[in-house]
Amino acid sequence: MALRAGLRSGVVSSFVIRQGTRVWQGFLALRADLRSGVVSSFVTRQGLSVWQGLLALRAGLRSGVVSSFVNRQGNRVWQGLLALRADLRSGVVSSFVTRQGLSVWQGLLALGAGLRSGMVSSFVIRQGNRV
């Protein structure tokens, strides 16, 4: 559910999964988001296509087959900014990288001014079931 909310808010354009907990919930959310067009594509470590990757997800998300997702839309970003600030404080989000290559805290300040412009290109999270 957190993944679906994060993707729909547009804050999460991509992320790397370190741990594959609660993968079936995530798999169901991914299938729904692919159908609705919220998720346009994802890349696996083996370079599989989207549909091949879906099959791989069923067998191997716990092993980290899926390394990133790409979001198609970037709307409702301010809700996501609040969520990101909360997740940085709680430690769920350990780092993120901006397109300008800013550090985490510089990037957080930049988010306040420019998240609507798509400045944030990726996040790294500590747990795969929360975004």
pTM of the model: 0.23
Residue 92 has pLDDT above 50, yes or no: yes
Q: Residue 70: what pLDDT?
A: 34
Residue 12's CB: how many other CB atoms inside 10 A?
A: 26
Measured over the CA atoms of residue 5, residue 8, residue 13 and residue 18, the dihedral's sign is positive
Residue pLDDT, tens place only, 26-37: 555 555 555 555
